Structure 1
Amino acid sequence: MGGCSVSTKWCRFNPASTATSHRSPWWQQRNNRADRHNRSVTIIELTSLSDPDGPDLSDYTGLTDVELRKRVEPAQGMYLAESSNVIRRALAAGHRVRSMLMAPRWLDSLADVLCDLDPSIPIYVAAEELLQELTGFHLHRGAIAAMYRPALDDPATLLANLTATQDVTRVAIFEDMVDHTNLGAAFRAAAGLCVDAVFITPSCADPLYRRSVRVSMGAVFQVPWTRFQAWPHPRKIRQRRTRLANAPYSAAEDSAVIAEPGGIQLLREYGFTTAALALDESSVDLGDFERDLPDRLALVFGTEGNGLRPSTIAACDVTVRIPMAAEVDSLNVAAAAAVAFWATRKR
């Protein structure tokens, strides 16, 4: 990306002072050449969190309250990207910024990112003590950005788009994985070992939760993913019917039960063999399984502790185990995913 000459607008929010305007040193060092465009970046310096006329900072409050953030962020259509590397990867994936928050010392390293943002996007800057008061933790990774949460494709659409544009051979399914650290690590393994897509089940944790994104190092932006609504089997849902005006009422006719395709059924329709990673009497060793891999393979991993549901194991085409030594019966689910992805990689 080329450089740019930036007109910087500073706004101070402090009940005891009026707005001032000055230029940040790194902006001053940029040359105003004909082949560079002028940009105006709105940098809002926060000096107090009690100003009633200050900006809305609700995107950044209560970040240590996991249950609160898990409810608030999807409802508001946003997520948080923490650290300059993760922010860059989110932007590279086409995600849009709502606002950014950082200490002044990080402005230099993110100058190129700020140059490319829409001028209307606020950049909040504050002393590190104030940042900790606002967010609830020490923001030592540089910066945090509130991002617009992209809409997910439904599983059928994602599979159709992938199979139409590339040679899809492997996908992963994470069932009921609730630990954000494990989920982020599993996504990182999927990206690094060339898994074509990831599907998560209805009860699985949010891949865009701050900790998941951070642990994945932004890999969650690199691997196509979506969430099954019916897993593993079809589910019956009641759909309201529209009755004609003045028609006789019948409770039996007022609604209809329709079946929503389950994830296993959908994967089979696209030619995938489903392999459950589980400790089961009928399971085969991963080393034996990898000798004759199917053309399209869906690897299914369960939650921490209990593993896959019995109904999921029964629904899959084959059960696979990772041979273990000594008294250790299994690996952490993220580690198991990495091993399975490596063993079944494209050769």
Structure 2
Amino acid sequence: MAEPIVLDDPDDPRLHDYTGLTDVELRRRREPAEGLFIAEGEKVVRRAVGAGYAMRSMLLSAKWLGPLRDVIDAATAPVYLVDPALAERVTGYHVHRGALASMARKPLPEAGELLTGARRVAVFEDIVDHANIGAAFRNAAALGIDAVLLTPRCADPLYRRAVKVSMGAVLQVPWTRAAAWPGDLADLRAAGFTVAALCLSDRAVPLDELAARDERQLALVFGTEGAGLAPATLEAADAHVTIPMDAGVDSLNVAAASAVAFYATRSSVTTPRTTS
């Protein structure tokens, strides 16, 4: 059992994990290098613990001592109790949810490990917006995606904002980084996947046409709304697919497009997901 430790000094070194959470560039460099990520809010903290991530510490305001008592009692990591004003000074923003936990990252799995037994895979190319990544993972969790591959330039799914927007779904859906993009597309194809690129091109077929095929194994590849997918990615894909739209709208952002595509192409055979 971890008895809460009351802290009242914003410069206390024990609060190091929580300092400057609004500095995106700092967190992008520091969190992966130090092997941590921040879970914010009761639901996300519980999902992180439930997914098997080891806790480094918790930072709570007094109102969470009751609701999170079972998590506190089970914790072997220190639990720091601070008032909301101090939490804001440390983190750089108003921690309105009042509960933060610093969690240890796990090593990323090999892509081949994630593809084994998978039927629906999402691939995101160079999506740098953390909110879009978080929303896309929430869509993936809700709509039957078995695994997610991210290209090297994609935003960190375990950055605080991405985890928060996803409501902890980034902790549920298995994911990893593509090691040699776009060469990894050949690995998808070798594993039996049909690779479908969501894009605007002359050879693109409507999403409904792809959905009607009910591919046994399907990998859906998404790029940025502005630049779209790289030419090498488009060339390597088995199919180009578009979401037909009205009112002169030519595209949706990746969060919206992924939700539409995941729902339309969900497999008729479900694959049980294991949380890692």
Instruction: Please report the TM-score for the alignment, with normalisation by the length of structure 2.
Output: 0.95
Q: Any idea what SS the aligned residue of 2:3 has?
A: strand
Structure number, greater radius of gyration: 1
Q: Secondary structure at the match of 1:42?
A: coil
Q: 2:87 matched to which residue of 1?
A: 131
Counterpart-to-counterpart distance in 2, 1:42 and 1:208: 27
Shift of residue 314 of structure 1? 0.9
Q: CA deviation at 1:47?
A: 1.5
User: For the residues of structure 1 that align with 2:88 and 2:106, how far apart are their CA atoms?
Assistant: 28
Cα distance between partner residues in 2 of 1:90 and 1:142: 16
Q: Does 1:104 align with 2:62?
A: yes
Q: CA deviation at 1:288?
A: 1.5
Runs of 4+ in 1 over 3 A off after TM superposition: none
Question: Which of 160, 168, 171 matches 1:221?
Answer: 171
Could you tell me which amino acid in structure 2 is paired with residue 296 of structure 1?
Q
2:16 to 58, 65, 75: 58
Match of 2:274 in 1: none
Deviation of 1:336 after TM superposition, in Å, equals 0.2
* Distance (whole Å) between structure 2 residues aligned to residue 58 and residue 194 of structure 1: 38
Which of structures 1 and 2 has the larger relative contact order (alpha carbons within 8 angstroms, sep 6+)?
Answer: 2
Whole-angstrom CA distance in 2 between matches of 1:287 and 1:156: 29
Q: Describe the shift of the 1:330–1:141 C-alpha distance in structure 2 as closer, same or farther (beyond 3 A).
A: same
Distance 1:271 1:106 in 2: 48
Distance 1:265 1:232 in 2: 8
| Cα offsets for 1:224-271 (capped at 9, x unmatched) | 1110120112xxxxxxxxxxxxxxxxxxxxxxxxxxxxx111101110
Structure 2 residue matching 1:75: 3-state secondary structure: helix
Cα offset, 1:55, TM superposition:
4.2
**Contact kept? 1:79, 1:210, Cα under 8 Å:** yes
Q: In the alignment, which residue of structure 1 is the partner of 2:113?
A: 157
Quote how far apart the aligned CAs of 1:293 are: 2.6
Measure, in 1, the Cα distance between the counterparts of 2:3 and 2:69: 13
The whole-number CA distance in structure 1 between the counterparts of 2:198 and 2:162 is 22
Corresponding residue number in structure 1 for 2:191:
270
TM-score between the two structures when normalised by the length of structure 1: 0.76
Q: Distance in 2 between matches of 1:49 and 1:223?
A: 35
Aligned to 1:305: 226
* Residue from 120, 123, 147 that aligns with 2:103: 147
Matches within 5 A, 1:78-89: 78-89=36-47
Q: Which has the higher strand share?
A: 1
Runs (5+) with no aligned partner, structure 2: 269-276
Match in the other structure for 2:272: none
> C-alpha separation between the residues in 1 aligned to 2:252 and 2:232?
22
User: Retained in 2: the 8 A contact 1:273–1:294?
Assistant: yes
Identity across matched positions, percent = 55
Contact 1:177 1:304 in 2 (8 A): no
Q: Which runs of 5+ in 1 are unaligned?
A: 1-39, 234-262
Per the alignment, residue 43 of structure 1 pairs with 4
Amino acid at match of 1:45: V
Matched, 1:345 2:266: yes
Deviations 1:81-122 (CA, angstroms, capped at 9, x unpaired): 00010000011111110000011111111001111112xx11
Give RMSD over aligned pairs: 1.1
Task: Provide the aligned length of Structure 1 versus Structure 2.
Answer: 268
Per-residue displacement from partner, 1:141-182 (whole Å, max 9, x unpaired)?
A: 1201000001111212332xx32xxxx211000000000000
Q: CA deviation at 1:56?
A: 2.4
Distance in structure 1 (CA, Å) of the matches to 2:106 and 2:157: 12
Q: Secondary structure at the match of 1:289?
A: helix
- Does structure 1 residue 283 correspond to structure 2 residue 241? no
* Distance in 2 (alpha carbons) for counterparts of 1:89 and 1:336: 26
